Amino acid sequence: MKQYLLSVHMVEGQPAPSAEIIEQMYAEVDKFNTRIQAEGAWVFGGGLLPPDAATVVRVQDGDVLTTDGPFAETKEHLGGFWVIKAADLDAALAWAADATRACGAPVEVRPFQDEPTD
C-alpha cells in the first residue's frame, strides 16, 4: 500500500474560531483518528505549534545557520498532518474529505515517493 501525507493548512489572518468551535473540532478529529486507526490506515499524525515556534536550520557558505520563524514567507502554514496507508489516490482523497470535515481546515493530499528498488 502506498503512503500519503494529509496535511492541514492554517491561513494566517483568518479569525480564530471560538473556544466552543475549537473544542468541537478536537472532538471530531479524535473521532476521525479513532476510525482511521481502527480501519488500519493510520501510520502517524500530529498537530503543530504555530509557525512562530519554528526554527529554520540551513547551510550557507559552508556554515550551519539557525533562524527563528517559518522558512516560507506565506499566509498559509502547516497546522498538522496525518501519514496514512491507502490503496490509491482515490482512497486517500476519501480519507482527506473526512479529515477536512473533522478539522475544519483545508487538507492537502500528497503521495510519498516510491522506495528505490535494489
pLDDT attached to residue 1: 82
28-69 tens-digit pLDDT: 999 999 999 999 999 999 998 888 888 989 999 999 999 887
| Partners of 42 in the β-ladder | 84
| 31 grid coordinates | 473521532
Q: What is the pLDDT of residue 49?
A: 87
Instruction: For residue 63, give Cα distances in angstroms to 57, 58, 60, 66, 93.
Output: 10, 8, 5, 10, 41
Classified by CATH at the fold level, domain 2-14+21-111 comes out as: Alpha-Beta Plaits (3.30.70)
Residue 77 pLDDT class (50, 70, 90 cuts): confident
- The answer to whether 108 touches 7, Cβ cutoff 8 Å, is yes
pLDDT tens digit string along 92-110? 999 999 999 999 889 999 9
Centre a 10 Å sphere on the Cβ of residue 82 and count the other Cβ atoms it contains: 25
